[in-house]
Amino acid sequence: MSAEDLAAERIGAVRDDVGARFRLAGEFYRSPGRRRFARGELSFLRWELQRGVLEPPGAGSPWWRAVNERLLRDKVEADVLRPGEQASSRAVELWVAFTRRPSPETWYRAHNASIVAGYLAHQDLARREVPLERLMINVSLLRALYAHALVAAPGLAMGRIGAVTRFLGDPRFGTVGLFLNLCRVFPQRYPVRDMSLPELIAAERVLPRLLDHGVICPRLTDLYAFAAATLDQPGVTEFVVNEVPCYADPPQDSYAWHIEHPDLALRLVRGVTKPVR
């Protein structure tokens, strides 16, 4: 049996068992040299489990389930790939590169390549989600891409202070939760029924607001171009138009992404972290 077929078999066995999904995700990191890299991914996976998006069909989200499944399948295939056997995708190749030389940079390339591949493959499922869920999907992607840039392109991510802040995105440290953890920003149950987009914006806390609007949004076009180049996924650049994320949606509701009259705190953050070109 090929590594691709074996991975498909293992994924099929856990598809409708959320606890088994979590255990399978964690098994990949039990090998020496990988353990500390589990923190960011498993923390985000716990959030998905708590929201209920990975529950079986009829209860969970088809989109979140499909993208999570792509990530799991790529890791499993990379883990069982035999010497000389060809990987089924570029993302699997990057996971193999991570297993041979674990580092923050190789982990992000592999992880985000799988995530972006899932995004590209399942836009039809994302379009079936309500607008607020699609906003969450966009934020999830841009945060993951930004965390990668923190460690691999610190000048893009944090400007002149990037050299001393790149550790913030290291997947081995708890600080990565500042970027990958969405539990303090969005509704915690799926599906979202009792909150509108304006209500979400009004309820946004100070730190997420400074991060998204002060640091990330002003550099979105460059950030997605960085991801396209480093992940070998040129299609990801189509997910942002005029600095507005638009995955699975036309670039509307731009007020959710641009603050017309930024306050002093936002202006200071933007000035301090202005990208180095």
pLDDT, tens digit (0-9, with 9 covering 90-100), for 82-120: 999 999 999 999 999 999 999 999 999 999 999 999 999
Does a structural domain hold residue 277?
no
pLDDT for 242 equals 86
Rg (CA), the chain: 18
Mean pLDDT of 272-277: 86
User: Which pLDDT band, with edges at 50, 70 and 90, does 188 fall under?
Assistant: confident
67, 115 contact by CB (below 8 A): yes
Distance of CA 20 to the CA centre of its chain: 21
User: Which pLDDT band, with edges at 50, 70 and 90, does 193 fall under?
Assistant: confident
Q: Is the pLDDT of residue 258 over 80?
A: no
How far apart are alpha carbons 232 and 14 in whole angstroms? 29
Does a structural domain hold residue 140?
yes
Q: Please give the residue that has the higher pLDDT: either 201 or 133.
A: 133
Q: Is the pLDDT of residue 80 over 90?
A: yes
Residue 219 belongs to what domain range? Answer: 3-272
How many angstroms separate the Cα of 251 from the Cα of each of 161, 220, 227, 242? 31, 13, 20, 8
Which two tokens mark 9? 């078999």
CA-wise closest residue to 44 among 185, 149, 150: 185
Does a structural domain hold residue 126?
yes
Contacts of 192 (CB under 8 A, 6+ apart): 130, 132, 133, 186
Does a structural domain hold residue 244?
yes
Consecutive H or E run containing 109: helix 104-121
CA-wise closest residue to 22 among 3, 48, 58: 48
112, 103 contact by CB (below 8 A): no
pLDDT for 254 equals 66
Does a structural domain hold residue 71?
yes
Does a structural domain hold residue 72?
yes
Number of structural domains found in the chain: 1
How many angstroms separate the Cα of 202 from the Cα of each of 33, 96, 256? 43, 43, 10
Tokens 């890791």 belong to 75
Angle separating helix axes 104-121 and 62-80, nearest 10 degrees: 130
pLDDT for 15 equals 96
How far apart are alpha carbons 173 and 37 in whole angstroms? 8
How far apart are alpha carbons 150 and 171 in whole angstroms? 11
130, 191 contact by CB (below 8 A): yes
Angle at 220 between CA 184 and CA 197, to 5 degrees: 45
Contacts of 206 (CB under 8 A, 6+ apart): 265
Model pTM score: 0.94
Does a structural domain hold residue 164?
yes
How far apart are alpha carbons 3 and 163 in whole angstroms? 39
